[in-house]
Structure 1
């Protein structure tokens, strides 16, 4: 069995297939073709892959490389993958049955009763699979609050949810996602928001800081551990879940649709971010804390402060705070 990597498949799709098609159309490929011969030929890797897959062979009679029927190569490459895929599915089913038995034992144990309706997931490796499994069972509504916008960093609880969100929306699940206003400046988040919105998902942003949370069908809520991204808690207690849903929905109602791009919406968002920056300044938070609460980098936050200094004609932070105080501006706006 030929074992090809994902990188080789990408090379096959991007370069080897077009090269093969050109060879078929031309009736062959000369050995001195500049695409495969000479110093650093551009298609040498693609050519070597076609040869390795027996899609090309050298015909001495015509002194050139000629194409072979791809059917045999397909059988050698694809058929073993299909067999392996079926084996993995069966293996997955076996593991599922095994863990189902463990679940029965756990739920009937004293330890389960002692812990009650709270489940701790205590490692980063366990959190993502747990969330994916839970979200895959979502039938009606998925609520997600993501205070920071870096979807492309691979961090945070909701990064995992994005992998399953397309399937959820396709089957009619309502999806509400809440970000901070700073998410609008993140290219990866904008791309994600456009795709999700097109599929029927709803995304809003808010000026305030809030904590991460995922709520599935208003029956299970997942929250991160305190100052520890390697720990998460799943909450099954209906009263607590209902309270968390209420907190989420209150924030959701104050949020602004991600796709709002009219001048009025842009001005309102800018004003809310300015007010939040002033609030952080008045309350005396450090720059790192303030930047985190606004969902921006310390450098961006420093830029916000610089803009306020210009606006209030202040040279120092102390002078800025004093001037704001003299004008009667409070932390609430």
Structure 2
């Protein structure tokens, strides 16, 4: 076992700290935890087993399954030498997974619909779901992206999520484009492969993670939320999102954040290389991205340019480049 591979696992003291946090419901005060074991807290945050919520200065325990998946992917990227270690990772974190499943907090999820009434608890639960998602996030946000401080704290997590090959699609009201915070957030996330549209029709707030669990308002003032895990209901809500998405208008973001600088979003870099005739694999190598990430950017470009085939997209991107020159 190499030193680098061993460094990917929490020590015995860090495991005990994680289990103590689970015993307190999976959420503790950041200050109190740091006073107890500052090194252990920082290490668990580095591993992704704890997430710091800057808004209320709290630490939230993350499902070790999500951490296991992420670490396994990183180990596989190191090559054949680390492949066996990556396959063993779920077993190596099995004790933490059992502890996570056994915590009383899990009892609340035995129901297919869980109602949460306090805004702080709603945000805490959504933060957990966002940290555990690994494939897709769909959302309807009629009021825009949200408070700037919360967005800044979530920015790095959103970048890692998209660069892993996951998908993010968001629908706003047209008025959201007048909000500077929302525009700047959307520009950043679009550069990593996120997709945004605007819908002029009235619609309600909704979040869907991995087509597995949906979050919808349970009161008119959004002070209460319903977390739905019934597969049939979630499937129905996904279909409703897709209908809204198809009716919504596409947005071509133009970043005004770096005036005077040449800021080329990742998807545009992919398009330029595609126009040069490079293959998906070569583009991934050139930009230092995973092939799944490049595939996600190509999918977004095909939608933006209404291209039915990869050849047609490359032709259109080549023509666009010539017009710009």
User: TM (normalized to structure 2)?
Assistant: 0.46
Q: From the CA coordinates, give the structure whose radius of gyration is larger.
A: 1
User: TM (normalized to structure 1)?
Assistant: 0.45
